[in-house]
Homo-oligomer: A and B are copies of this chain.
Amino acid sequence: LPTFKLTIAYDGTDFVGWQRQANGSSVQELLEAALADLAGGHVAVHGAGRTDAGVHAIGQVASCTIERNLAAATMARALNARLPPAVRIMSADEAPATFHARFAARSKMYRYRVWTSDALDPFERAFVWHVPGGLDAAAMALAARQIEGRHDFAAFQAAGSDTRTTEREVFASRLAKSTDALIVYEITGDGFLRHMVRTIVGSLVEIGRGRRDGAWLASVIASRDRSQAGPSAPPQGLFLVHVDY
């Protein structure tokens, strides 16, 4: 039975997120339905990252094993024919039988986009957080680097989460781009707590607005207390860009 590694892009606007939910349409559910139609029976799909409602993906990765002998090239086309245009299999590759998209992931890269000029470009409105009035990008860039390294990120985790450990390693945390209109933040790490990226971004924006100074972020990390961090940035600015194996 062939095992596949699927690279998936989706516009998260109308979804409840990656993971199956009681209410609303999830990417996982659509993918499992397309695979069931193709394979003639239930197929479990494992995604590398559980993106939240409204979060987008450029390079989500999922694994599945199907009970039908299909070439990888055929797989992508057959799935795309069964998926809505908001979800696309960008590539399908055969993988070793033991491949599991979540457990095998070594690092993930997320991107967050902030629109800072007064008039929000209508073509960007579903893909940015609009923070008009200007941000101090230089201060944000300096603060972003403080996130790098192995830390206990409990202060950035959504309330009510239960994870074994809240320690994660961040390999890179940078402002990838900053123009008059757009600030792009990118973070790569070995794993992320629920809402972690959005709460880091919400905190960086507090600094960019001048409400907090550069030293503040280190004290938030040290506090391990969610109430010390900034508010979570909204989902539509966030993209799961890449998963490394």
Residues in B with CB closer than 8 Å to A77 are: 118
Residues in B with CB closer than 8 Å to A85 are: 120, 122, 125
A88 touches B122 (CB 8 A): yes
CA distance in complex: A121, B88 (Å):
7
B56 touches A119 (CB 8 A): no
Min CB distance, A47 to chain B, in Å? 16
Residues 92-123 of A at the B interface (beta carbon under 8 Å): 118-123
Number of identical monomers bound together in the oligomeric complex: 2
B11 touches A119 (CB 8 A): no
Interface residue from B80, B122, B127 paired with A123 (Cβ < 8 Å):
B127
A87 touches B122 (CB 8 A): yes
Cβ proximity bits A72-100 to B, threshold 8 Å, 1 near / 0 not: 00001100100001111111000000000
B125 touches A86 (CB 8 A): yes
Residues in B with CB closer than 8 Å to A80 are: 118-119
Min CB distance, A77 to chain B, in Å? 7
- Is A240 positioned at the interface, with any CB of B under 8 Å from its CB? no
- Is A155 positioned at the interface, with any CB of B under 8 Å from its CB? no
- Is A18 positioned at the interface, with any CB of B under 8 Å from its CB? no
- Is A175 positioned at the interface, with any CB of B under 8 Å from its CB? no
- Is A10 positioned at the interface, with any CB of B under 8 Å from its CB? yes
- Is A9 positioned at the interface, with any CB of B under 8 Å from its CB? yes
Min CB distance, A234 to chain B, in Å? 14
A11, A119, A125, most chain B CB atoms within 10 A: A119
Min CB distance, A6 to chain B, in Å? 11
Given contacts A76-B118, A80-B118, A85-B122, 11 further A-B contacts (CB under 8 A): A9-B123, A11-B123, A56-B123, A58-B123, A76-B119, A77-B118, A86-B122, A88-B120, A88-B121, A90-B119, A91-B119
